[in-house]
Amino acid sequence: MRRNIARIEIEPSAPRKRRKSPAGVATNDLIVTAHQGVNADVFPHVLALYVAKGSRIADVTYGRGAFWKQINSRDYHVVASDLTTGVDCRKLPYKDSSLDCLVLDPPYMHTPGGTAHVNHQNFEGYYQNNGTGNATGAKYHEAVLELYFSAAREAWRVLKNGAVLIVKCQDEVCACKQRLTHVEIINELTQSHYMVEDLFVLVRTNRPGVSRILKQRHARKNHSYFLVFRKRPCKTRI
C-alpha cells in the first residue's frame, strides 16, 4: 500500500549577523581617584579630563604656581592672580561669563597658634579671619567656609555656562569637632547652580606632625581633595 508522506520544506536559515566589536581598547591605563604625591602630580589629570586645551583659565589663588609645574604653558591660556597681586578671589576683575575654568585654592584651615599649621598662617594674615576686616563676622572654620562660598559665588559670575570650577580643600578638626570641609562645600555649591563632576584625593608622602599632643582623639588628616564642579545655566545671578 502506498503511503502519503507529508512533504516538509525547510527554509534556509538567515545568515548569522557578525558580532559588532565594541569601540575603544582594553586598558588599565586610566585616571584614578586617589593619588599619593603633591599637587602637581594630580592637577594634570584633572585638566586632562575636564578642561580642553586652549581654554582660558583663571587661577585666582596662584601663589607660587605649584599646580602648574607639570603643565605645558602653551596648552592653556592661564591668568594667574592672588592677594599678593592685589586680586581678591571674592571680587575678581573679569567680565561676566568670560572664563572656561577657574581654580580656587584658598587657605583652608584656621591657625590658632603654635607651629602645627604654620604654612596656613596666611589665612589670618591675608583674610583677617578673626579681625575687624572679616565683614561676615564668622570665625574659625565658619570663616573658612564663608571664604570658599563667597569665592564660588564670584566664580559663578565670571565662568561661562558649562565651564569648570576646580576647588582644592582639606577637612579639619576645629574646636574638637570633626568638620568634613569637602562635604560642606559640595552641599553648598550643588544647591547654588553648580553640578559636582568629580573628586580627586591627594595623599601626602610624609607623615603629619603636631607641635604638642597629650592624647589623640581624631585621625590626623594626611589627605586633601580636588573637587570639580560645572556651572549650570541659570537666568539669575546667585
Pair type for strands 99-104 and 159-169: parallel
The string of DSSP letters for 1-17 reads ----PPP-PPPPPPPPP
Q: What is the largest CA-CA distance in the chain?
A: 118
Shortest CA distance to 151 belongs to which of 172, 174, 126? 126
Q: What is the pLDDT of residues 77-115, one digit of tens each?
A: 999 999 889 999 999 999 999 999 999 998 865 555 444
Question: pLDDT band at residue 199, thresholds of 50, 70 and 90?
Answer: very high
- Which residue type, as a one-letter code, is found at position 27? T
CATH architecture of 34-231: 3-Layer(aba) Sandwich (3.40)
Q: Is the dihedral of CA 115, 223, 180, 146 positive or negative?
A: positive
- Provide the residue type at 67 as one letter: F
* pLDDT above 80: residue 4: no
List the domain boundaries for the chain. 34-231
Highest mean pLDDT among 5-9, 119-123, 208-212: 208-212
User: Which has the closest alpha carbon to 184: 123, 143, 128?
Assistant: 143
The pTM is what?
Answer: 0.81
User: Which tens digits make up the pLDDT trace of 128-184?
Assistant: 433 434 455 677 888 889 999 999 999 999 999 999 999 999 998 888 889 999 999
Pairing of strands 34-36, 194-203: parallel
Greater pLDDT, 119 or 107 = 107
Contact status, residue 153 vs residue 231, Cβ threshold 8 Å? no
pLDDT computed for residue 238 by the predictor: 47
Nearest in space to 233 (alpha carbons), one of 164, 165, 162, 166: 162
pLDDT of residue 207: 85
